Amino acid sequence: MLRNKPQPKRRWLELAPGDPVIVIAGKDKGKQGEVLRTLPDEHKIVVKGVNLLKRHTKAGQRRGGVQVAQGGIVDFEAPLDYSNVMLVCPHCGRPTRTKHTVLESGARVIECRHCGEPYERVRKTEAQ
C-alpha cells in the first residue's frame, strides 16, 4: 500500500442535519425533505422521505446495530449525492445557491442568492 499517495481533500458540506432541501436531479426530482445526516467523506447526504429503497432482511439479523426480530422488507432512505439537492431558503421559499459572507459582528454565514437574507439554522432541542 502506498503511503505517499496524496489523500483527496475533504470537502466541507454546507448542509447540516435539519436543513430543508429540494431534489433537483434523479428519480425523486422535485421532492422536498430535511437533511437527516451528512456523509462528507463520500460527498453524500441522507434526506428524509427521499430515495427510499427496500432492504430484505432475515428474521433475527442485526442491521446497523439494530436487532431485527421479525424478517421482511424494510424501507430506508439511501444517501443522495450532494450535487443533486439545493437548499430551500426559509425567507423566500425558493431553492437557492448559497453565498458566503461575513457579518459586521465577524460571524461567517451563508446567505440566499435570491433575497440576500442570511440563512440561520434552527437548532432543534429535545422536548422534555
Q: How far apart are CA 70 and CA 110, in angstroms?
A: 45
* Per-residue model confidence as pLDDT tens digits over 54-88: 988 888 766 666 666 777 888 899 999 999 999 99
C-alpha dihedral (110, 111, 112, 113), degrees to nearest 10: -100
Please tell me whether residues 82 and 93 are part of one structural domain: no
What is the CATH number for 51?
Answer: 2.30.30.30
Per-residue pLDDT, averaged over 101-115, amounts to 88
* Per-residue model confidence as pLDDT tens digits over 11-44: 677 889 999 999 999 999 999 999 999 998 888 9
Cβ-in-10-Å burial (0-12, 13-18, 19+) of 94 comes to middle
The reported pLDDT for the residue numbered 106 is 87
Please tell me whether residues 56 and 114 are part of one structural domain: no
Q: How far apart are CA 32 and CA 21, in angstroms?
A: 6
Structural domain contains residue 29: yes
The reported pLDDT for the residue numbered 2 is 65
Q: Which residue has 440566499 as its cell numbers?
A: 112
Q: Indicate the pTM of the whole model.
A: 0.76
Q: How far apart are CA 114 and CA 61, in angstroms?
A: 49
Domain range for 100: 89-120
Q: Which residue has 430543508 as its cell numbers?
A: 20
The answer, yes or no, to whether residue 127 has pLDDT greater than 60, is no
- Cβ contact 119:89 at 8 Å: yes
Please tell me whether residues 52 and 27 are part of one structural domain: yes
Structural domain contains residue 4: no
Question: What's the length of the chain?
Answer: 128
Amino acid at site 111 = E
Question: How many domains are contained in the chain?
Answer: 2
